Amino acid sequence: MTYLKKITATLAFASLSGMALAAANPLSVHILDLQSGQPTAGVTVTLEQKKDNDWKQLSSGVTNAQGRIAAMYPLDAPMQAGDYRIVFKTGEHYARLKQETFFPEIPVQFHVEKTDQHYHIPLLLSPFGFSTYRGN
């Protein structure tokens, strides 16, 4: 097999593996910059679960070139019903751009009842505002 064919096969397998991982994971996030209309790469995002009156961090990740984290929920455990919070660390992004922002962190709290469903949380971002919703 030629070198180019090996690279193509490797990339195809990695892509399929990533899609399978995302399909199996119950939670994903996506950030789009409303000013530029482009995905927002390089933003740290944490997932927390409410236990009693405290928040316990379950995972963290960094958005990819498409502004996504396809598998946000820990891979070693099934999703449980309960209260969760995603925290988008947007201040880092705007600091890299040397741009002022009013929201250095954006916490999004949500409740999960149906653990067999996929939950997608997109964030539409600008320096002085944001919007979110349950996507699919």
Known binding residue 3? Answer is no
Whether 87 and 106 have beta carbons less than 8 Å apart is answered as yes
Q: Which DSSP helix (H) or strand (E) runs through 4?
A: helix 3-24
Known binding residue 68? Answer is yes
Furthest-apart CA pair in the chain: how many Å?
58
The CA distances from residue 50 to 23, 26, 33, 55, in Å, are: 25, 17, 29, 4
Q: Which DSSP helix (H) or strand (E) runs through 123?
A: strand 119-126
Known binding residue 111? Answer is no
Residues making up the annotated binding site for substrate are: 30, 68, 133
Can you say which residues are annotated as belonging to the binding site? 30, 68, 133
